[in-house]
Amino acid sequence: MEVHQPNFLTDSNVLAKVMVKKDPIKHPGHWSIRPNLHRIFSYIQNLDARVIKIRRENNKIAHRFAHCCP
C-alpha cells in the first residue's frame, strides 16, 4: 500500500514551522532536528504531505516516551 498524502502530527513548534516552510535550506530549524528533517523531506519530496501541529497537552503519552530515555 502506497501513501500519497501522509499526515505528520507533531507537538514541536520548531518542527512544524520548518515543515510548513518546506525549505530546509532557508529554514533549517534547530540543529538537533536536522537529521530527522532530512529523512522526512526525503520521504515526502513527491507527496502531498500535511503537517498538523497538536498541543502538547493532547499528546501526553508520546511526550512522556520522548523524555523517559536518554
Using an 8 Å Cβ cutoff, are 24 and 36 in contact?
Answer: no
- What pLDDT is stored for residue 51 in this prediction? 83
Q: Domain coordinates of the chain in residue numbers? A: 7-68
CA distance 64 to 47: 30
- Give the cell for residue 57: 497537552
- What pLDDT is stored for residue 52 in this prediction? 83
pTM above threshold 0.85: no
Q: What is the pLDDT of residues 11-58, one digit of tens each?
A: 888 778 877 777 767 766 677 777 877 887 887 777 788 888 888 777
b/e burial code for range 2-31 (CB count within 10 A of at least 16 → b): eeeeeeeebbbeebbebbeeeeeeeeebee
Q: Is the pLDDT of residue 70 over 60?
A: no
Q: Which residue matches cell numbers 501522509?
A: 6
